[in-house]
Amino acid sequence: MNILQKTRLSKYEVIMLIIMASVFMTGCTLSAGNGEDEPQSSINGIYFDTFVSISAYDDTPAEVLKGAIGECEKYEKIFSRTDEESQLYSINNRSAGGAICISKDMSRVIAAGLEYGKMTEGRFDIAIGAVTKQWDFHGDGCVVPDGKTIEDALKHTDATAISQNDSGLFIDDDKLEMDLGGIAKGYIADRLKEYLTENGCTEAVIALGGNIVCIGDKRGQGYSVGVKTPFDNTGKLSKVLNVSDTSVVTSGVYERYFEKDGQMYHHILDPATGYPAGTDLYSVTIVCDDSMKADALTTAVLIMGEKEGIEYIRERMKDEVSPVKQAVLINDRYSVTEIN
């Protein structure tokens, strides 16, 4: 205590200094222990043949997250093309013509799908189901359908045969089938965001495979969303985007594909040919507040290819409603083009 006695610093002052320093350091420690980059709570599952995760960066109760993931089950029963109990399955396997009674969710997605079909001049097409079902990119199939089968299926992909009014849905072609795979996940991601925000969540990330929706700005620092390097399984990223309160959607030919006789067959089919799109793009990432729109546009731009796709994205950046905010294109030479 000699030192203390020789100075004007009292015992009390020293103790206060120690307490203050301790409080400061403890605060830092707790903060780091909790992890600035780690969510406070999270939940995940496999739905729509996709890994779905919801991570909250605020004190959203676990029950709310459970409720949100429960919504996925509900939407799976509406939009699954393969689930025999789903609404889409019953539409595609309808026995007679006339009005088909559909849910509000289904009606909204079909209406949006038809609109995006016009917006992309048919590059995005929800009426492609008869062609889609000829291909198997999930199982051990690796079978390329023969030309005649695709040709016949293509005769039943005219989206103008689909219409809706107050009585229900009408499909003026008995063999036409819908495939909402290129748009439903975007719609569901938007609905999950709605569900969480209505339940008080202000900071969260929803991920449905290539569809990412961010709520809030992650305690002011923004969310880092990585754009994967195509065909790389090690998690290598070609680009990292810092975004807040918006959606980031990626479509890539590398997501599902098989190889046969030295040729790669990926899952993004060109509605004009019925075969995997002959594109010079490996992946398209679009940042847009409307995840459903971004979902449809990534598919369409991928089919368009790099040159036309870049011009098209610039046009969509001028949209009055939910314009494209940013895009990242990776071509087949792994060259990255960023459009801001």
Which residues are at the interface with other proteins (CB under 8 A)?
3, 6-9, 14, 17-18, 21-22, 25-26, 28-29, 32-33, 35, 37-42, 44-47, 49, 51, 53, 55, 140, 233-235
Q: How far is the CB of 44 from other proteins (least distance, A)?
A: 6
Task: Report whether 57 contacts 40 (CB < 8 A).
Answer: yes
The CB-of-53 to other proteins minimum distance in angstroms stands at 7
Q: Which is nearer to other proteins, 27 or 98 (CB)?
A: 27
Whole-angstrom Cα distance, residue 40 to residue 63? 13
Alpha helices in the chain, H assignment, sequence order: 2-6, 11-34, 62-79, 87-92, 104-119, 129-132, 147-154, 184-198, 291-304, 306-316
Q: What is the DSSP letter of 158?
A: -
Distance linking the first and last C-alpha atoms of the chain = 64
Residue 322 near residue 287 (C-beta atoms within 8 A): no
Question: In this complex, which beta carbon is closest to other proteins, that of residue 85 or of residue 140?
Answer: 140
Burial of 46 (0-12, 13-18, 19+ CB in 10 A): exposed
Q: How far is the CB of 226 from other proteins (least distance, A)?
A: 13
In the complex, what is the shortest distance from the CB of residue 50 to other proteins, in angstroms, rounded to a whole number?
8
Phi, psi at 49, each rounded to 5° = 60, 30
Least Å distance between CB 41 and other proteins?
Answer: 8
Residue number with CB closer to other proteins (40 or 326): 40
Nearer to other proteins, 13 or 151 (CB): 13
Our CB check for other proteins shows the closer of 23 and 111 to be 23
